[in-house]
Amino acid sequence: MKEVKILIKYKSLHHVSLTVTDLERANDFYRRILCLKEVARPDFDFPGAWFEIDGQQIHLIVDPSSQTIRQDKSLSSREGHFALRVENYYDTLNWLKQNEVEILENPNGKSGFAQIFCGDPDGNLIELNVEQKDLKVETNS
């Protein structure tokens, strides 16, 4: 096998950018439903918001004419998405259900992750997961 010289050396994933149509509605979802921390954003000439998770970021960009906004908002684990690791599958699942978020559950898939898929108000698909080996037994607290 021929040795390949690696020209790009990565440190981490810095951010994911998502287009949204309504910043107030998107902010409510990312702050209140996904419980993400909003961080300061430069004063660009277009609306948006930034959120941080352990050094990585999600950038929301308002662009109603974006070609990346899905017209069909139905949930599918095969659509483009990003994944966030959560501490407790069942706490997350119950929180989303309590907040009437449409979800697609996959606790025992072949990936090795217990997965919950949901969409933001514009249909951007989000996976919330834990390692299956870390799947805690649901308790009725």
In a domain, 4, yes or no: no
CB atoms < 10 A from the CB of 53, how many?
Answer: 13
pLDDT at 136 over 60: yes
Residue 137's pLDDT is 63
Query: Percent of the chain, pLDDT > 90?
Result: 71
> Is 97 in contact with 5 (CB distance < 8 Å)?
no
| E strand or H helix at 82 | strand 81-85
> Is 18 in contact with 62 (CB distance < 8 Å)?
no
Tell me which residue range forms the domain holding 28: 15-134
Half-sphere exposure of 37 (CA within 13 A, CB side): 8
Phi-psi group of 55: left, alpha or beta (phi > 0 → left; psi -120 to 50 → alpha; rest → beta):
left
pLDDT tens track for 50-86 = 999 999 999 999 998 888 888 888 888 888 899 999 9
In a domain, 44, yes or no: yes
Number of domains, the chain = 1
In a domain, 74, yes or no: yes
What CATH number is attached to the domain comprising 25? 3.10.180.10
